[in-house]
Amino acid sequence: MNGAFNIVTPPRPAFASAIEDAIGAIAPNWPLDRQIAVNPYWGFIDRSFDQAAATLDRLVGSRFALAPSEYLSAWRAGEIGQAALRRALAECNASVTLDSVVASLKMQRPLFKGLPLLSDILDERATPGAAPRWCDTITQQVSQYCASYFDEHQADWHRGQAGGLFRGWRGGLEHDHALEPLMHAPQIRERVQELPATADGAITWSLERLGVPPEEATDFLQVCLLRINGWASWCGVLSFSVQ
């Protein structure tokens, strides 16, 4: 598959829709000098509070509410009174007693971190201390590249933007001689050459290689974006500005 640098692979229709849906769930994050505040859950405004909370909890383990132990502490400290709790139960038509609600706050619940990516599986199987975690390395690589690419003259040097974000990242990784020995993965640069030349094409290629069904692609891509939500939101500003 070497020599695929110039191949332009259009996304399959099912994956194209999944890509758009995943991007649409990310709220754009304008810089502070624009004075534009955006609800971080803007991409979920078509869902109810409970539906949005359940989705984010399932995807990345993100919760809209405090941990049960926090509410239990507030109850014991008197910050939450019986009258307020009874009123809340009445408003949601809950057929439970006040005592059962308090008892449920004392139950131990497993910590859920969301749906795993391939990087999570590799980290779980790796020998501790043999190399940095793939999850951390991927976040660092993406963050460092985006920071230099989107730099607005804060640094003395920043990357050129003529080729676009994805092409620049792909080309940089192809010539990165430090990552392979760091991660004990000698084929990174060779495998980067297998990637299609466009972002949509590379996403489609990756989804197919990983065997992600089209009906699950949106969730998968949302997990990827939410794992590095800050830069995804920054790129969301660019997407929003050209619409």
Domain regions of the chain by residue span = 4-61+114-241, 68-105
User: Using 50, 70 and 90 to split pLDDT, how confident is the model at 38?
Assistant: confident
CA distance 239 to 24: 10
Using CB atoms within 10 A of its CB, is residue 195 exposed (0-12), middle (13-18) or buried (19+)? buried
Mean pLDDT of 208-236: 92
| Tokens standing for residue 181 | 């020995």
Residue 154 CB contacts under 8 Å (≥ 6 apart), including other chains: none
What is residue 63's predicted lDDT score, i.e. its pLDDT? 85
Work out the pLDDT band at 190, boundaries 50, 70, 90. very high
Please give the Cα distance from 222 to 158 (Å, whole number): 29
| Cβ-Cβ contacts under 8 Å for 70 (sequence gap 6 or more) | none
* pLDDT > 70 fraction of the chain, expressed in percent and rounded: 90
Sort residue 29 into left (φ over 0), alpha (ψ -120 to 50) or beta.
beta
Question: Tokens for 24?
Answer: 């649409």
Residue 168 sits at the vertex; the CA angle it makes with 165 and 169, to the nearest 5 degrees, is 85
Write down the H helix ranges in 61-153: 68-76, 82-91, 98-105, 118-125, 134-149
Instruction: Report, as an integer, the average pLDDT of 91-103.
Output: 87
Q: For the whole model, what pTM was predicted? A: 0.80
Average pLDDT over residues 198-213: 93
Confidence grade of residue 5 (pLDDT, cut at 50, 70, 90): very low
pLDDT at residue 131 greater than cutoff 50: yes
